[in-house]
Amino acid sequence: MINNEKIRLMTKLAIYERSEEGIEDMKVANYFKSDYLRHEIIKTILAVTFGSILLLVMIFCYQMEFFLDNALSLNYKLLGSLVLGGYLILVILAVVVTWISYRISYMHAHNRLNNYYRILGKVRKIEEKEEWIKDMEEE
Amino acid sequence: MMLIFELRAKITALYQKYAFWINLAARFVLCYLAFNRMHSVLDYNPTLGKSAILLALSGICAVLPSSLMVIIAAVYVSMQIYASSENSLILTIIVFALFLVFYCFFIRFTPKYGAVVLAVPILQTYGFPYIVPILLGLFGTPVSIVSVCCGVFAYNTLHYAKDNIPFEIPKEEVDMQAIYMDFVKDLIANPAMYVTMLILAVVITVVYFIRRIRMDFAFEISIAVGTGVMILGYIIGDLRYDLGISIAGMVIACLICAGVSLVILFFARTLQYSAAENVEFEDDDYYYYVKAVPKIKAGAPKRKEKKVIRRRRTDDDDEDEYEDAALGLIEYGDNDAGGSPTLRKKKAEAEREREEEEEADEFGDDLSIDDLKPSKRYGTRVGERAGSVAGKRGDEDNVRKAGRGSYVASAPEEDDADDDVILADSNAGWSRVSSGSRKTAAQPVRKPSTADLDDFEDDDDEEEVIRGYYPGTENKAGTADREAPADDDDEDEEEVIRGYYADQGKDTPKAASAAADEDDYL
């Protein structure tokens, strides 16, 4: 016999599982919080590094005349430290933003998953009850 | 107004029915409009402007995430710029590199708002970018500011890239460095772009925070305030930095955008969560194909707080009441306020004394049925006690079934010294109350409802009351197959039952049953 309560709960679970949010949360659930944050931070660092290199090339192209004119007199040590400093500042900013935003998103995903597992537990209980009733009927 | 609501209901019902296809079609149409607009603005490669290409691109973007849509759009724009002139390679590279830089730094953090990056430049070419910040403030978060700024930057990039395309310069004379520097100078030294970004960011923030305020019409007010801020911002920006806009046109466009936002808001509240879901799942026994259609709620009912202020009663009021009572208009002390503090205190004391007297009468040995009729609730409690006493004594009862779900003591026909009061219950089908295992009753019994038991704080008392009922209670509702509550002290019960039947000069049911079995056997 069909159990309406069970269908209701399972429908909720199915809707969540196939939603974008649910798919993303399931991926997040594969990680511990620290691992997840580390993973996202590494991706951010890579993206920022790639973006910084592009930006640096563009700046270099823009200022090419200046660099060619002053190639011998440039203070490369200062230039290098400026570039490195700028890059580090960008990376640190990006890492902080990533850490905060993905920490929040992990917490939200965790809450949604908690709710998901709670409903799953209810379904399991209903199934156990159904099993028990079936066994009793057989006996 | 009813017509509008009916229209909304019809649209909502239609949307519920075909939500998936409507969403897909809407995305497809928007993508087509976007690519078509890009082609009309940068019409350098006729091949890229063919309908088949545009439809194919729109179809791909309709099913891809919006952040990938930005990349595809960037590739399309770059190809158009590349096709514009044989000298425009450098511009193509720069435009694409700029999109990549923005993607790496900003757009990847806000993947949900990828479509905004496209929407801003597209709508700006139509002259209606003003709707974007209002809608983002209404339905998004301040994080979307990043996407809006990227969109404004993308618009300016395309605008200046188009302006700097070297059409009529021979290839030999083209200075790539000069083209690049002119383009970047135009793009960066452009205060209008920053002012526009600032205005849109402020509008998003203002709309977002106002619509979150707990007040009536917060959403509508936020649209109005956001529009006002936007108009003011653009006027100041235009006067100060020459944004190159027509103020009258901007004001009209802003008002139109506000109106459209109101219409969208009107529908969005019901449509936002009303899409029907078709899901499939299975368990051990069945496959389920479920279509879950959400109930449409026009909006959560607003909770109204009613403040009740009761005026403190004064002695003058007492005097007035006394005069009214003297005239026979009211009964003294019988009003809503319950009298002045002094009067209330006196009444409470009198009530307490009366209750104490009644309690003393209830539990005294000279229990009389007349004492058991003060009120429905009170009668219940008294009746239970009486039943307990009677059960312990094993006396025969005078039982009256009163009403469904309530116990009301009623007077015996004769006020005999041996006749005590036992109550019957019309409640059918109860289960155990006390702890312990369940067992089948040897004799129909009744259980007090939990409402009755609420009066007793002590569990032992509860047990006592329940035990007290079993032996002497006859149930006239014919509930022979009911279950009795668990009782650890079965022996006591048996003794009471035996005592009761001994008084009647009969065997107990068990003994009678055993004797009958024996007769049958013989």
Residue B303: the pLDDT is 55
Percent of chain B with pLDDT over 70: 56
Above 60 in pLDDT, residue B458?
no
Q: Where are the domains of chain A?
A: 4-131
Asked if the Cβ–Cβ distance from B105 to A94 is below 8 Å, we say: yes
Give the CA count within 13 Å in the CB-facing half-sphere of B293.
9
Q: What is the DSSP string of A51-115?
A: HHHHHHHHHHHHTHHHHHHTTTT--HHHHHHHHHHHHHHHHHHHHHHHHHHHHHHHHHHHHHHHH
Of A2, A54, A65, the CB nearest to B97: A54
Residue B171: the pLDDT is 67
Alpha carbon distance B301, A38 (integer Å): 44
Asked if the Cβ–Cβ distance from A50 to B283 is below 8 Å, we say: no
pLDDT tens per residue, range B396-445? 444 344 333 333 333 344 444 343 333 333 333 333 333 333 333 334 33
Contact B280/B21 with Cβ under 8 angstroms?
no
Of A50, A65, A97, the CB nearest to B109: A97
Above 70 in pLDDT, residue B299?
no
Mean pLDDT of B307-315: 66
- Least confident stretch, A117-131, B100-114, B249-263: B100-114
φ and ψ of B105, to 5 deg? -85, -35
Asked if the Cβ–Cβ distance from A10 to B101 is below 8 Å, we say: no
Cβ-based contacts under 8 A for chains A and B: 58
Question: In 3-state terms, what secondary structure has residue B279?
Answer: strand
Per 3-state DSSP, chain A is made up of helix, strand and coil in percentages (nearest 5) of 90, 0, 10
Alpha carbon distance A11, A13 (integer Å): 5
Question: Best residue in A8, A17, A58, A133 to probe B by mutation, most B CBs within 10 Å?
Answer: A58
Alpha carbon distance B452, B462 (integer Å): 10
Residue B469: the pLDDT is 41
Give the CA count within 13 Å in the CB-facing half-sphere of B476.
13
Asked if the Cβ–Cβ distance from A65 to B177 is below 8 Å, we say: yes
Mean pLDDT of A41-45: 92
Residue B246: the pLDDT is 84
**Full-model pTM:** 0.58
What the block records as the tokens of B307 is 């403040």
Percent of chain B with pLDDT over 90: 10
Q: How confident is the model at residue A99 (pLDDT cuts 50, 70, 90)?
A: very high
- B287 and chain A in contact, CB less than 8 A: no
Contact B441/B365 with Cβ under 8 angstroms?
no
ipTM score of the complex? 0.75
Residue B340: the pLDDT is 59
State the pairing for strand pair B420-423/B397-400.
parallel
Asked if the Cβ–Cβ distance from A58 to B97 is below 8 Å, we say: yes
Mean pLDDT of all residues belonging to chain B:
68
Alpha carbon distance B77, B158 (integer Å): 8
More confident residue, A118 or B453: A118
Task: Kindly identify which residue of chain B lies nearest to residue A57, measuring between CA atoms.
Answer: B97
Mean pLDDT of B16-43: 84
pLDDT tens per residue, range B147-170? 899 888 888 888 888 777 776 666
Q: Where are the domains of chain B?
A: 66-271, 306-362, 364-521
Residue B203: the pLDDT is 94
Residue B283: the pLDDT is 75
Contact B261/B287 with Cβ under 8 angstroms?
no
Q: How confident is the model at residue B520 (pLDDT cuts 50, 70, 90)?
A: very low
Give residues with Cβ within 8 angstroms of B512, minimum separation 6: B506
Asked if the Cβ–Cβ distance from A51 to B105 is below 8 Å, we say: yes
Residue position matching structure tokens 């209903």: A126
Give the CA distances from residue B474 to residues B280, B305, B391, B413, B447, in Å, rounded to whole numbers and listed in that order. 55, 51, 11, 17, 12
Above 70 in pLDDT, residue B202?
yes
Above 80 in pLDDT, residue B468?
no
Per CB-CB distance under 8 Å, the chain A contacts of B108 are 47
Task: Kindly identify which residue of chain B lies nearest to residue A124, measuring between CA atoms.
Answer: B283
Question: Best residue in B95, B144, B187, B281 to probe A by mutation, most A CBs within 10 Å?
Answer: B281
The segment with the largest mean pLDDT, out of B16-20, B221-225, B237-241, is: B221-225
Give the CA distances from residue B285 to residues A8, A139, B291, in Å, rounded to whole numbers and listed in that order. 16, 20, 19
Mean pLDDT of B310-339: 64
Residue B312: the pLDDT is 66
Above 50 in pLDDT, residue B207?
yes
What part of B 166-195 touches A (C-beta under 8 Å)?
177, 180-181, 184
Residue A85: the pLDDT is 93
Asked if the Cβ–Cβ distance from A11 to B109 is below 8 Å, we say: no
Cα torsion B196, B198, B199, B203: sign: positive
Question: In 3-state terms, what secondary structure has residue A17?
Answer: helix
Percent of chain A with pLDDT over 70: 99
Residue B272: the pLDDT is 54
CA B217 to centroid of chain Cα atoms: 19
| Closest Cα in chain A, distance from residue B22 (Å) | 17
| Closest Cα in chain B, distance from residue A61 (Å) | 8
| Closest Cα in chain B, distance from residue A91 (Å) | 10
Residue B440: the pLDDT is 37
Per CB-CB distance under 8 Å, the chain A contacts of B284 are 127
Residue A121: the pLDDT is 92
Residue B197 host element (H or E): helix B191-211
Mean pLDDT of A10-23: 86
Residue B109: the pLDDT is 79
Above 60 in pLDDT, residue A29?
yes
